[in-house]
Chains A and B, each alone.
Chain A
Amino acid sequence: MVTEADEMLARVQARADRAIQRAGLAAGMTFDQVVHAVEQALEIRLRIVPETDTAGWGTLTGFLTYFADRREGSIHVRASDAAIYSQFAASHELGHLLDDAHCSGALHERSSVSPHDNPLLTTPEYEAELVAEHIAHRIARLLYTSPRVAESSW
């Protein structure tokens, strides 16, 4: 029997699939290349800003500011975080940008609290956060865990 949760997961995965295809993201890219591919796919300009003054951020690990009229945005992450982790937080925001529903009032913030454990989210917000998280994990797989030629050769 297909539950509501199963249906949502299928929808989330389909949205994540489309997002990755939209930007033509592929294994072997660097993080900068991923950001550039998103800029090209969406015809926008993006800046990744490592913020040093994050004492008041609480559980926040990254957020996006986007100006549709200027077609530019910036993704703010914590400068004190390890590169892999802050790139993951930034990838979550790239996920919001690439998602079908990126203009439909998603939060554009990444919390260290999982969407599963955040009762304050509405259902569309919850789904949008899941999509962004799925995309971030997919980007991470392309960046760090895809087979490398030198390790697949001999």
Chain B
Amino acid sequence: MVTVLLIDAALAGLLLVVVLRARVAWRQPRARIAWLAALIGCIALLTQGTVIPLEILDGFLGGTNVLKLVQNVLTMVALWLGIQAGTAPVSARIRTLRWWFPGLLGALFAVVFFVALPERGTSSFRFLEDAAMTSTGAWAYGVLHMAGIALVGLLLFRSARGSLPKTRVFFRVGAVGIVLGCLSEILDLTLSRFFEPDALVSALFDPLFYLGVVSFVIGIFVASRTTTRIRRRGDELLARLEPVARERGVDSFPGLPADAVADTRLHALRVAVEDDAIATSTPLSPPQRALLDDIDAHLTRRTTGVHP
């Protein structure tokens, strides 16, 4: 029951991302990487069978637990796309990503899955855990795919370096949960196969992994909220600077592109206002100087956003 709740909480969070970020993804090609990560994450969680019965989904694939392989590959790809969302250049697009990495890892999962597990029985939620009690092949596949996902989780942790500060905390906690969940599963499979199963170790994966996903989802919402606030702050600063420019009779640089973003117009007008103060020997008042300082802090933000 707890497992179902955890899976559904993670699924609901990712579904929210897919729905709420669809418009941004439609308009901004760069945002489609993150959106696709959330969508594939949703599909991976759906294959757990908490919403649509496992037997039906696995039945489409022959009813021999191939769904488990699909789930593992989708999970790995979703996490990898999460890394790309945070690290790929602004100009990156889904098709320009280095797909060879998840391609190779996915192919490795598939080869080991079919070679090590020729007899897989009928559809079951605990198919791998049960098979690993007696089958070294099942244990080998279980360890391999969990190690693969743990590796991607580690890269995910590292990729959080470039995130906005509050987001970074949630992403890192999420990545730690995912990695520890995978390691606990490797330990659990090993104990079950070669030693005595341990109930505590068996119970660790679900809370660690799925709460990790939930933490990541929270980080996504924090990131989009912070980005919106930074954009609004730029608009507000421009709205405060325009009356100052009007009052001084200052025109902005006439050569800006017609589709210049607010920050570009803000910078050009800020320079024009300071030019005017020097050219006419009429220094800026303290509030005007403070406004320019705020504008400079906004424009020189790196990933931190200065006052996010």
Indicate if the CB atoms of A140 and B167 lie closer than 8 Å: no
Given known contacts A88-B271, A116-B254, is B89 in contact with A151 (CB within 8 Å)?
no
Question: B164–A150 contact, CB under 8 A?
Answer: yes
Q: In the assembled complex, which residues on chain B have CB atoms less than 8 Å from the CB atom of A83?
A: 296, 300
* Stretch from A34-42, A43-51, A64-72, A107-115 at the B interface: A107-115
CB–CB A148/B90 < 8 A: yes
A153 at the interface (CB under 8 A from B): yes
Please provide the chain B residues from 29 to 80 with a CB less than 8 Å away from any CB of chain A in the complex.
30-31, 33-34
Chain A contact surface mostly: helix
B236 within 8 A of A: no
From residue 40 to 86 of chain A, which have CB atoms closer than 8 A to chain B? Answer: 59, 61, 81-85
One of B94-102, B174-182, B259-267 contacting the partner: B259-267
Most chain-B CB neighbours within 10 Å: which of A12, A130, A134, A145? A145
Q: Quick check: B253 and A148 within 8 Å, CB to CB?
A: no
What band does the interface of chain A fall in when counting residues whose beta carbon is under 8 Å from B? 20 to 34
- Does A149 lie within 8 Å of B87, measured CB to CB? yes
Judge if B122 is at the interface, Cβ distance under 8 Å: no
Return the chain A residue nearest B254 by Cβ.
A116
A151 near B278: Cβ-Cβ < 8 Å: no
B275: interface (CB < 8 Å): yes
Which one of A111, A130, A147, A151 contacts B305 once the chains associate, using CB atoms below 8 Å?
Answer: A151
- Closest Cβ of chain A to B60, distance in Å, is 32
Query: A150-B86, A150-B164, A154-B34 known; 17 other A-B pairs, CB under 8 Å?
Result: A59-B278, A83-B296, A83-B300, A84-B270, A85-B271, A112-B277, A113-B275, A116-B254, A134-B255, A137-B267, A146-B90, A147-B90, A150-B167, A151-B305, A153-B86, A154-B219, A154-B224
Identify the B interface with A (CB < 8 A).
21, 28, 30-31, 33-34, 85-90, 162-164, 167, 219-220, 223-224, 227, 230-231, 253-256, 261, 263-264, 266-268, 270-271, 274-279, 292-293, 296, 299-303, 305
A-B contact pairs, 13 of them (CB 8 A): A59-B278, A84-B296, A112-B275, A113-B275, A140-B271, A146-B90, A149-B87, A151-B305, A152-B30, A153-B163, A154-B85, A154-B219, A154-B227
Which 6 residue pairs of A and B lie closest in terms of their CB atoms, listed nearest first?
Answer: A145-B263, A150-B303, A112-B278, A154-B223, A112-B275, A112-B279
